[in-house]
Amino acid sequence: MTDEKKPEDAPATKRRDFLKYGIGAGVGAVAVQGAASLRSLVPNVSYDAPTTVKLGVPDEFPDGLKFLPDERLFVFREGRTFHAISAVCTHLGCTVRAEAMPAPQQATVEGKPLRLTHNFSCPCHGSRYTGDGGNVSGPAPKPLAWYHLTVSPDDGQLVVDLAREVGHDFRLTLA
């Protein structure tokens, strides 16, 4: 006996092949069409909010601290030097409160001098932060974020980049 197919088996084999490959091709085509349909639901335009925000001209910031509720940000000014600390609690995102110290303290933070004027506390679950944003008590797992500041070349406004965290040694000093 040989394995050769008898001539009368040929139509049945063709039918099986057709079913096998035909169904495979059909499933593949449906999958490609489905993927294309799903992709068409995703717009090519990004609607993410911009991460850089103009905050105003530097001279309008008071010496000390200014809270910006829209950005949930504290901007500190000492003469011509600025830094910005997030007001978003690192526990569950409540807005922390700044509490003025009885008197400013001079500290060294990450090797650079920093005048501390406020501590921070969270009204939600009681986390407390030092004047440079370090978490000291409560459930907050990490320090408050510091954000990059620069000056817009267009109009001289202070600009914060809320997607760009910086170290606690960051300072923007203007000429």
Contact (CB, 8 A) for 82 and 149:
yes
Q: Which two tokens stand for residue 142?
A: 């990490």
**Residues 115, 106: contact at Cβ < 8 Å?**
yes
Per-residue b/e over 73-102, b at no fewer than 16 CB within 10 Å?
bbbbbbeeebbbbbbbbbbeebebebeeee
At its nearest, how many Å lie between ligand FES and the CB of residue 145? 14
C-alpha closest to that of 123 among 86, 85, 92: 92
Chain positions 29 to 68 lying near ligand FES, rule: CB under 6 A, are none
* Nearer to ligand FES among residue 141 and residue 153 (C-beta): 141
Nearer to ligand FES, 26 or 93 (CB): 93
CA atoms within 13 A of residue 154's CA, in its CB half-sphere: 5
Q: For residue 85, state whether it binds ligand FES (rule: CB under 6 A).
A: no
Q: Does residue 125 interact with ligand FES by CB under 6 A?
A: yes
Residue 116 CB, shortest distance to ligand FES, in Å, is 20
Q: How far is the CB of 43 from ligand FES (least distance, A)?
A: 34
Q: What is the DSSP string of 50-67?
A: PSEEEEE-GGGSPSEEEE
Which member of 55, 73, 85, 89 binds ligand FES (CB under 6 A)?
89
Q: What is the length of the chain?
A: 175
Candidate list 94, 116, 151, 166; residue touching ligand FES; CB under 6 A:
94
Q: Which residues between 103 and 122 bind ligand FES (CB under 6 A)? A: 122
Which of 56, 138, 143, 156 is the binder for ligand FES (CB under 6 A)? 138
> Per CB under 6 A, does 139 bind ligand FES?
yes
Chain residues that interact with ligand FES, rule: CB under 6 A: 89, 91-94, 122, 124-127, 138-140
